[in-house]
Copies of this chain bind each other. A is one copy, B any other.
Amino acid sequence: MLELDTLSEIINDALRGIEYPERPEGLYQPIAYILDCGGKRLRPVLTLATCQALCGNSDKALNQAMAMEMFHNFTLLHDDVMDKADLRRGRPTVHRKWDEATAILSGDALLTLATQRVTMNAGEYLNDVMDLFNKTAMEVYEGQQYDMDFEQQDDVTIEQYVEMIRLKTSVLLGAACEMGAIMGGASAEVRKAMYTFGEKLGLAFQLQDDYLDTYGDALIFGKEIGGDIVNNKRTWLLVTALSKDSSGKLHRFIDHCPVSNAEKIATVMEIYNDNDIPRLCTEAIKGYVDDAVAAVKTAGLSPSDEKFFIDLALSTIGRTH
């Protein structure tokens, strides 16, 4: 198996190598802008690694890997418009750097470019990759819709929250793995095993994100700690704490909070600690990592390839950023 960094570089090179029509500039420049952000490229790396583990050649899934990253960036582009976000990875979002109409239209174009890309060199697997791509896209939209719905809703259960992040985030990691398995010629059972690996890894990652926003080290995590608490953001921590808040104290406190941000963070963390939330969260993360590891062990990979995926999953527990 190639190194993680090598796989990321393959993807970055391929994305940089895309040639866009020169005109109309307003359509293609924002696409090049959002795809030119570096980063870990986790989704396409999973596609390449899975394909390589199954047929010894990651190249076969390069277009499908690129399609996964392009789709992911299309969702970021439109989500930023919906959330009215100003910054993405430290740079102005597309709708701030250009305008909202540009962000909507270039996002549409990026979705179609991703769809085109997923069909490229798909050969006998064209039907399978198209079906997986479209089904996953619909699930991601459903997740985003639930996320927006839950912002207006006080009684979200932890099961509803986990289903929302599964749809919004995890199915795309599952699909990234299965896409590589399809292009690597895998059986239905192995495709399913690798999908489950990605899906559970995605859940672990999202919960770890929630955890680190409150319990991370600001310097390593790369952003202010406690932002989710300040913004009353529905996270695994808050949803779980609210489900244990039979006295309604936490509900009232976050609804009408007359204190400073620092006091608010301190008080909510105290409630979290009193309710054992940090331990419950790290246990939940560990549970999803265990599920991911169990799934990949059924895929019949070589010991060294299996280790690659297990190490990737275990790194979630240890990660601090």
Instruction: Give the interface of A toward B (CB within 8 A).
Output: 21, 24, 26-27, 78, 81-82, 100-101, 104-105, 107-109, 111-113, 115-116, 119, 126-127, 130-131, 134, 137-138, 141-142, 144-146, 148-149
Contacts and interface: CB of A to CB of B under 8 A. Distances in A.
A175 to B, nearest CB: 13
A137 B26 CA distance: 16
Contacts of A101: 81-82, 148
Contacts of A148: 26, 101, 105
| Residue of A81, A126, A138, A145 with highest tally of chain B CB at under 10 A | A145
24 contacts: A21-B142, A24-B142, A24-B146, A24-B149, A26-B149, A27-B141, A27-B142, A81-B104, A82-B101, A105-B145, A105-B148, A108-B111, A108-B137, A109-B138, A109-B141, A111-B111, A112-B137, A112-B138, A112-B141, A113-B138, A115-B115, A116-B134, A119-B127, A130-B130
Contacts of A105: 78, 82, 141, 144-145, 148
Contacts of A104: 78, 81-82, 104
A259 to B, nearest CB: 30
- Copies, count: 2
Contact of A141 (B108, B134, B137): B108
Contacts of A149: 24, 26
Q: Which 4 A-B pairs have the closest CB atoms?
A: A82-B101, A24-B145, A27-B145, A112-B137
B130 A112 contact: no
A292 to B, nearest CB: 27
Contacts of A109: 138, 141
Nearest to A101: B82
A291 B209 CA distance: 60
Nearest to A134: B116
Contacts of A111: 108, 111-112
Contacts of A82: 100-101, 104-105
A130 B127 CA distance: 11
Given A81-B101, A82-B100, A105-B148, 18 more contacts: A24-B145, A24-B149, A26-B149, A78-B104, A82-B105, A105-B141, A105-B144, A108-B108, A108-B111, A108-B137, A111-B111, A112-B137, A112-B138, A115-B115, A116-B134, A119-B127, A126-B127, A126-B130
A112 B74 CA distance: 13
Contact of A112 (B21, B119, B127, B134): B134
A91 B39 CA distance: 44
Contacts of A78: 104-105, 108
A64 to B, nearest CB: 14
Contacts of A142: 21, 24, 27
A230 B10 CA distance: 54
A115 B134 contact: yes
